[in-house]
Structure 1
Amino acid sequence: MTPRKDLLDIASLSDAEIAFVLDNAVPFKDLFKRSVKKVPTLKGQTMLTLFYEPSTRTRSSFEVAASRLSADVTHFDIESSSVVKGESILDTVETLEAMRVDYIVVRHKQAGTPNLIAKNTRASVINAGDGWHAHPTQALLDAFTLREIHKNLSGCRALIVGDIQHSRVARSTSLIFRRLGMEVAYLAPGSMMPREVPQEIPQFGNWNDAFEWKPDVIYLLRVQGERLDEPLIPSAAEYHRNYGLTNERVEVLRERGLHLMHPGPVNRGVEITDAGMNYEKCLINQQVENGIAVRMSVLYWLRPGAVE
């Protein structure tokens, strides 16, 4: 498989490239069972995390992934950098370019920022989430997780529930699911449903209709409160009552044997209850573990300075 320089979204990947990343994540995950979990693949190379938005899972996942590939890992602290003095993104990138880092993992509230950075550095740029636009490694780890459960994803049905309009995860994950032959449906209040939805994606306004569609997996989304200028729901309690995974709905999942996913972080009592978190077919922790393997596979595949 010809290496790419950057990973910016799912849409630009070929089916073969998606398969390559997912297939190569398998042996990387096998490393986790060993007493020594490191390989020298990226020894002598440096990965830098450049996060303009808060992150726990994604940033730490990338850092662990790079460390297990023997790369040096550096975090660019935005709050204590010249960014707070007004330094532009391109000036920051020019500084990083002079430091000869090999990989830059970027998260930014503005869609398209990772693309801008990628055009101005020889380092491989990985989009760790840009605005409402894309979160490609989340989509890849979601697909990898479901492949462990359903060996053949063709025809498997995923119901994505929540704030779809403002979710980069929903956009990336729904796309990769459909690329892998899955069927996808949305469940959301009207204020959180995108105005333009692909024709092949059914839209539901309540759980009863959504359950009638007979999904195999429920994928919950967090309400993106930090991205909203004004609330789109009357209250968290009303959202939970109408669209959250209540204890009663957990029992429906249990009766039907449905799997449960969530990209994290979760808002307990809003989109999910404690019973949902403890549900035996909840895949959230498996998603976290698989995120490391998938990101190792991505770092292994990308090549700084590669011509695309």
Structure 2
Amino acid sequence: MVDVLGSIISKCKKHRRKDLLGIADLSKDDILLILDTAEALKKAARNDRITKFKPLKGKNIITLFTEPSTRTRLSFTIAGRHLGADVIDISPSTSSIVKGETILDTIKNMEAMGADVVVMRHSADGVLAQLAGKTNVSIVNAGDGKNEHPTQALLDAVTIREKKGRLEELNIVIVGDIAYSRVARSNINLLTKFRNNITIVAPPVLMPKYAKNIFKSITISRDFDSVLPKADVVMMLRLQLERQEKGLIPSFEEYTKSFGLGKERLKLLKKDAIIMHPGPVNRGIELSDEVVDCGQSVILDQTANGVYARMAVFLVLSNAN
């Protein structure tokens, strides 16, 4: 297994990149390298062969999240530590950002102190791409506004391929807050590269303006029940209440009636269809308790795979190797 891991590092070094800013920047081969690496790392972890595998020993990874996070932040921290890096979690509330220091100045000071990688979440669309061009550290996008969340799409792809045996020519239904969801954008960017049949389902107020122009190769629907019987994957999205204009959703009850997945709609699904959600789940709104905890739910598998997908991302970053 050590030889296998060594081979993985060799392949990653040949495809090194400075930053990971969005799925739109990755080729199909780039994505497959990350997925293959994540799967090999997971297999190594099962065999307890990963504890001595420390390719990032001596590297400094800093996480800086200006929005709340549990799964993403923790899995980046665990991923870096598994690879031997020193990982430092910085809270904006205890940093000089609260004194008025710009994000760029903060990152440049991190660079001056020896940071190799900065994993960042920010509320503004596209801000990380601007920062990446002005610093030598590797920037990893952990979510920027409603723009992209590339590592979520990568871990979702790992999970789909693990559970369905492939990542191509699947019927994938994405449901909910399409307009404000960076998860939706990144997943659509990734899944369309692999010839999947994608349907997005949402009320008009949660569908992006000019959706037909933005998502040219996918189907748009408002009828959740009609698309469920053929679905191989159902990806439910969290209502982005912190990003939405107030009053978009008249009531949670009305939303759940049309776009929530409960035990009655569950009966419409094929037995081998999988149910996904990026978390955190608003139980009783997007998903009922019965569905969250049912055998077709792979939500915790997504969480577990996030560690390996993010380990793989670190391995392809030029500053981390």
Q: For the superposition of Structure 1 and Structure 2, which TM-score range results when normalised by the shorter chain?
A: over 0.9
Which residue in 2 is equivalent to 1:86?
Answer: 100
1:33 equivalent to 2:62? Answer: no
Q: Deviations over 1:150-189 (max 9, x none)?
A: 2233210110000000000000001111112211110100
Is the Cα–Cα contact under 8 Å of residues 225 and 265 in structure 2 kept in the other structure?
Answer: no
1:304 equivalent to 2:316? Answer: no
Cα distance in 2 for partners of 1:81, 1:166 equals 28
Q: 1:24 aligns with which of 34, 37, 54?
A: 37
Cα distance in 2 for partners of 1:219, 1:96 equals 37
Deviates more, 1:95-104 or 1:158-167: 95-104
Q: 1:43 aligns with which of 51, 57, 68?
A: 57
Cα distance, 1:122 vs. partner?
Answer: 1.3
Which residue in 2 is equivalent to 1:180?
Answer: 194
Is the Cα–Cα contact under 8 Å of residues 48 and 101 in structure 1 kept in the other structure?
Answer: yes
Cα distance in 1 for partners of 2:47, 2:91 equals 33
Query: What is the correspondence of 1:118-267 to structure 2 with a 5 Å cutoff?
Result: 118-197=132-211, 198-211=215-228, 214-253=230-269, 255-267=270-282
Cα distance, 1:305 vs. partner?
Answer: 8.9
Cα distance, 1:144 vs. partner?
Answer: 1.0
Cα distance in 2 for partners of 1:23, 1:34 equals 17
Which residue in 2 is equivalent to 1:58?
Answer: 72
Identity of aligned residues (%): 42
Gaps of 5+ in 1: none
Which residue in 2 is equivalent to 1:271?
Answer: 286
Cα distance, 1:199 vs. partner?
Answer: 2.6
Which residue in 1 is equivalent to 2:9?
Answer: none
Q: Deviations over 1:119-172 (max 9, x none)?
A: 222111100000010011111111111111222332101100000000000000
3-state SS of 2:268 partner? helix
Is the Cα–Cα contact under 8 Å of residues 93 and 120 in structure 1 kept in the other structure?
Answer: no
3-state SS of 1:164 partner? coil
Cα distance, 1:37 vs. partner?
Answer: 4.0
Cα distance in 2 for partners of 1:258, 1:150 equals 8
Shift in CA distance, 54/175, structure 1 to aligned 2, threshold 3 Å: same
Gaps of 5+ in 2: 1-13
Cα distance in 1 for partners of 2:272, 2:35 equals 25
Is the Cα–Cα contact under 8 Å of residues 41 and 50 in structure 2 kept in the other structure?
Answer: no
Cα distance in 1 for partners of 2:67, 2:239 equals 16
1:68 equivalent to 2:82? Answer: yes
Code of the residue aligned with 2:34 in structure 1: it is V
Is the Cα–Cα contact under 8 Å of residues 122 and 305 in structure 1 kept in the other structure?
Answer: no
Code of the residue aligned with 2:267 in structure 1: it is E
Shift in CA distance, 64/305, structure 1 to aligned 2, threshold 3 Å: closer
3-state SS of 1:224 partner? coil
1:117 equivalent to 2:117? Answer: no
Is the Cα–Cα contact under 8 Å of residues 124 and 304 in structure 1 kept in the other structure?
Answer: yes
Q: Deviations over 1:47-66 (max 9, x none)?
A: 10010000000000000000
Q: Deviations over 1:252-274 (max 9, x none)?
A: 22x54321000001000110011
Code of the residue aligned with 2:112 in structure 1: it is A
Cα distance, 1:2 vs. partner?
Answer: 2.5
Aligned residues: 304
1:294 equivalent to 2:309? Answer: yes
Code of the residue aligned with 2:315 in structure 1: it is Y
TM-score, length-normalised on structure 1? Answer: 0.95
Q: Deviations over 1:249-296 (max 9, x none)?
A: 12222x543210000010001100111111101111111111111110
Q: Deviations over 1:82-102 (max 9, x none)?
A: 111211112111211111101
Is the Cα–Cα contact under 8 Å of residues 314 and 320 in structure 2 kept in the other structure?
Answer: no
Is the Cα–Cα contact under 8 Å of residues 61 and 115 in structure 2 kept in the other structure?
Answer: yes
TM-score, length-normalised on structure 2? Answer: 0.91
How large is the Cα RMSD of the aligned pairs?
Answer: 1.5
